[in-house]
Chains A and B, each alone.
Chain A
Amino acid sequence: MPAYYLEALTVTLGLVLLIAEAFVSTKSKAWVGIAAAVGLGGVLVLTCIAIGPDAKPDSAWAKWPLWNFYQFDSLARFYKTFALVCTILVILLSIDYRKILARFTDHPGSENGTGEYYALPVFACVGMMLLASAKDLAGAFVALELVTVTFYVMVAYMRRNVGSLEAGVKYLILGALSTGFLVYGIAWVYGATGTMSLSNLQPSISNLQSPTALLFGIALVMVGLGFKIGAVPMQVWIPDVYQGAPTPTTAFLSVGSKAAGFILMIRFLEPFLASDMTRGPVLKLLAILSIATLLFGNLAAIPQTNFKRLLAYSSIAHAGFLLLALASGAPETGSSLGSSQVVSFYLATYLIMTLGVFFVLAQVRIQRDGENITDFNGLGKTNPLLALALTVLLAALAGVPLTAGFIGKFFVFSLAMEAKLWAGVGVAFIAAAAGFYYYLNVVRAMWWADPGDRAAITLPAISKVCIALLTVATLVLGIWPQPILALLK
Chain B
Amino acid sequence: MPSYLFWLFATVMLIGGAAVIAFRNPVSSALSVVTCFVGLAGLFIGLSAFFVGVIQILVYTGAVMVLFLFIIMLLDLKDEEKRAKGIAPLAAGVGLVIAFVVQLIGVLSRTPNKSAPALNQETLAAAAGHFPVGEKIATSLTAGRLPDVQLIGHTLFTQYNLPLQILGVLLLVATIGVVALSKKQAE
Contacts and interface: CB of A to CB of B under 8 A. Distances in A.
A139 B173 contact: no
A126 interface: yes
A150 B112 contact: no
Nearest to B171: A149
B18 to A, nearest CB: 18
Contacts of A107: 185-187
A79 interface: no
B167 A142 contact: yes
Interface of B: 103-104, 106-108, 110-112, 158-163, 166-167, 169-170, 172-174, 176-177, 179-181, 183, 185-187
A422 to B, nearest CB: 30
Given A153-B180, A213-B107, A112 B186 contact: yes
B170 to A, nearest CB: 5
Given A150-B173, A153-B181, A106 B112 contact: no
Contacts of A113: 180, 183
Contact of B111 (A120, A156, A212): A212
A157 B181 contact: yes
Of all A-B residue pairs in the complex, the 4 with the closest CB atoms, nearest first, are: A153-B177, A142-B163, A212-B110, A107-B186
Contact of A142 (B106, B170, B183): B170
A139 B181 contact: no
Given A18-B176, A149-B174, A153-B181, A11 B169 contact: yes
A207 B171 CA distance: 39
Contact of A145 (B108, B160, B170, B179): B170
14 contacts: A18-B176, A65-B159, A110-B186, A120-B177, A126-B169, A139-B163, A149-B173, A149-B174, A153-B176, A153-B177, A153-B181, A210-B112, A213-B111, A216-B107
Contacts of A143: 166
Contacts of B187: 107
B170 A116 contact: no
Contact of B170 (A65, A146, A157): A146
Contact of A157 (B167, B174, B180): B180
A146 B159 CA distance: 20
Given A130-B166, A157-B181, A66 B186 contact: no
Contact of A216 (B103, B170, B177, B183): B103
Nearest to A152: B177
B148 to A, nearest CB: 19
Contacts, number: 85
A100 B149 CA distance: 51
Nearest to B185: A106
A65 B112 contact: no
A144 B153 CA distance: 24
Interface in A209-249: 209-210, 212-213, 216
A179 to B, nearest CB: 12
Contacts of A69: 160, 162-163
Contacts of B166: 127, 130, 139, 142-143, 146
Interface SS of chain B: helix
A272 interface: no
A120 B176 contact: yes
Contacts of B112: 209-210
Given A126-B169, A210-B110, A212-B107, A139 B186 contact: no
Q: How many A residues touch the partner, as a band?
A: 35 or more
| From A107, A112, A116, A117, residue with most partner B Cβ within 10 Å | A116
A198 interface: no
A257 B166 CA distance: 18
Residue in B106, B112, B177, B179 whose Cβ sees the most chain A Cβ within 10 Å: B177
Contacts of A18: 176
A114 to B, nearest CB: 10
A159 B176 contact: no
A66 B159 CA distance: 8
A110 B181 CA distance: 16
A68 interface: yes
Contact of A153 (B161, B173, B183): B173
A65 B187 CA distance: 52
Contacts of A152: 177
B109 to A, nearest CB: 9
Contacts of A192: 111
B160 A138 contact: yes
B161 A65 contact: yes
A159 B181 contact: yes
A296 interface: no
A113 B103 CA distance: 49
Interface in A109-130: 110, 112-113, 116-117, 119-120, 123, 126-127, 130
A266 B111 CA distance: 27
A447 interface: no
Given A70-B162, A117-B180, 6 more contacts: A68-B159, A107-B186, A123-B169, A127-B166, A157-B181, A160-B185
Given A70-B162, A106-B186, A142-B166, A116 B111 contact: no
Nearest to B167: A142
B153 to A, nearest CB: 15
A110 B186 CA distance: 9
